[in-house]
Each structure stands twice: as C-alpha cells, then as structure tokens.
Amino acid sequence: MLAAIGTTTAAFDPDQLDVTINGVAVCRKGAAGEPRDRVDLSSRAVHIGVDLHAGTETATIWTNDLSHGYVEENSAYSS
C-alpha cells in the first residue's frame, strides 16, 4: 500500500503518513506501527484508512475482492 500511495501526485510528507487496516494502525508517521498480525481480516469488509496529514479533503473508494470464485465464474465463458 505504501508503494502505491507513494506513486500518487498528492503533495505530502511521507514521514507524516498514517495507515490503518480495520482499525489497526500499521503505519504511524511513515514508520511501522502495530504488528500486522493484529489486523483481523476474517470479515468480508476490510477498511483501509490513509491519512496524509496534508489537508482536509477526504475520499471513499469502494472495490471488490476479486476472490478465486469470482474470477473463476467470470472467466468460464467468452464473449
């Protein structure tokens, strides 16, 4: 995730970056936060929060998981 965030054109100080996954702060001020094994990924929903500390703007992005079953079902036919 950090590599993807770093490829954006947003102006921010990487030493201020915070990232949470399902409420667990895995990155604080650009450095390692809580251990990744504390993140509970057993739910279908995964919430990722990114705070650049670079302004007041916010955005919400919805996506899907592209699980094995989804990919298999949608690759079983051709158009």
Q: pLDDT at position 75, please?
A: 82
* pTM of the complete model beyond 0.85: no
pLDDT digit string, tens, across residues 27-66:
999 999 999 999 999 988 899 999 999 999 999 988 877 7
Q: pLDDT at position 79, please?
A: 61
**pLDDT bracket for residue 69 (50, 70, 90):** confident
One-character DSSP codes across the chain = -HHHHHTS-----GGG-EEEETTEEEEETTEE-S-GGG----SS---EEEE-SS-S-----------HHHHHHHHS---
Q: pLDDT at position 64, please?
A: 79
Task: Give Dmax (Cα) for the chain.
Answer: 48
Q: Return the CATH fold of 2-75.
A: Ubiquitin-like (UB roll) (3.10.20)
Q: pLDDT at position 25, please?
A: 98
